[in-house]
Amino acid sequence: MALLEVQQLRAGYGPIEVLKGISLQVDKGEIVAIIGANGAGKTTTLMTLSGIVPVRGGSILFDGQDITRLPAYQIVSRGLAQSPEGRKIFPRLTVLENLEMGAFTRNDPQGVQADIEKAYHYFPILKQRAKQAGGTLSGGEQQMLAIARALMSRPKLLLLDEPSLGLAPMIVLKIFEVIRELNRDGVAVLLVEQNARMALKLAHRGYVLETGSITMSDRAETMLNDPRVKAAYLGE
Ligand SMILES: Nc1ncnc2c1ncn2[C@@H]1O[C@H](COP(=O)(O)OP(=O)(O)O)[C@@H](O)[C@H]1O
Ligand SMILES: [Mg+2]
């Protein structure tokens, strides 16, 4: 069953049209990857779904409801949260305060407390660093914090923008393991990655985005073996 259903979505910046009418779907329980070259429009896609970049055309259905022109905070409170490219944690706030910021749409302090513990369960290092300023964390820890902060709104769908960017392979493996665990616990994931191989190994299905258009969509396993994907995105 479709959790997210995007139809003919268009968005851009000023005179530049970036998304030229893209359609995609994420089902309940799925991990879906969007792969594509630098500048293809991956970040713009996630920012538009989150209500940060304005929609110029098309529609976004989430959990059966039209969220196409809702303000960002209402989209978050309906269960769609993003971990942005480049982490964008609050460097002067502590790890714990960063997590609390992720719960800004909620008014159930006990539930929030329980979810902080849950975040620490997924990323134990964050508990050790709870009182440290976010800016003092390593890149990998900041990525973990960005994901954990997004989880604080109890999302049904988690949008992840380049979670592997700039991180050592060991750390990337660890983060991808947690993404898989989150998914097993019921969170659907829409993952944007330049690391196409890792993304397609993790995902159930994938899309290729090329200069603002979806040019391919298939089961991730099929895409991993597709000669065009191999040549263009897997360096084979
Ligand atoms: N804030 C912005 N203002 C103007 N152009 C932008 C902005 N953000 C991105 N772009 C342009 O939109 C296109 C898609 O960018 P982006 O969505 O960041 O791609 P990707 O995440 O796939 O690398 C690029 O040509 C980029 O230069
Ligand atoms: Mg990007």
Return the domain boundaries, the chain: 2-88+141-233
Q: What confidence score (pLDDT) does residue 130 get?
A: 97
80-83 sheet: strands from edge to edge = 80-83, 157-161, 188-193, 31-35, 205-210, 213-219
Q: What tens digit of pLDDT does each residue of 180-236 get?
A: 999 999 999 999 998 999 999 999 999 999 999 999 999 999 999 999 999 999 987
Instruction: For residues 54 and 11, give the distance between their C-alpha atoms in angstroms, rounded to a whole number.
Output: 7
Report the nearest atom of ligand 1 relative to the CA of 12.
12
Q: What confidence score (pLDDT) does residue 192 get?
A: 96
Lowest-confidence pick of 3-7, 58-62, 99-103: 99-103
> How high is the mean pLDDT of the chain?
95
Report the nearest atom of ligand 1 relative to the CA of 161.
21
* Residue minimizing CA distance to atom 2 of ligand 1: 13
- Model confidence at 2, in pLDDT bands (50, 70, 90)? very high
For the domain covering 2-88+141-233, report its CATH number: 3.40.50.300
Q: Which residues surround ligand 2, an ion (CB under 5 A)?
A: 42-43, 85
Within 6 A (CB) of ligand 1 lie: 13, 16, 18, 36, 38-44
- Model confidence at 125, in pLDDT bands (50, 70, 90)? very high
* Residue minimizing CA distance to atom 24 of ligand 1: 39
- Model confidence at 105, in pLDDT bands (50, 70, 90)? confident
Q: What percent of the chain clears pLDDT 90, i.e. is strictly above it? A: 94
Q: What confidence score (pLDDT) does residue 146 get?
A: 97
- Model confidence at 104, in pLDDT bands (50, 70, 90)? confident
Q: Which one, of 222, 215, 195, 217, lies nearest residue 206 by Cα?
A: 217
Entry pTM: 0.95
Q: What confidence score (pLDDT) does residue 1 get?
A: 77
Contact status, residue 49 vs residue 7, Cβ threshold 8 Å: no
Ligand 1 mutation target, pool 43, 46, 191, 210, most atoms within 8 A of CB: 43
Does 92 have pLDDT greater than 90? Answer: yes
How are beta strands 188-193 and 31-35 bridged, if at all?
parallel
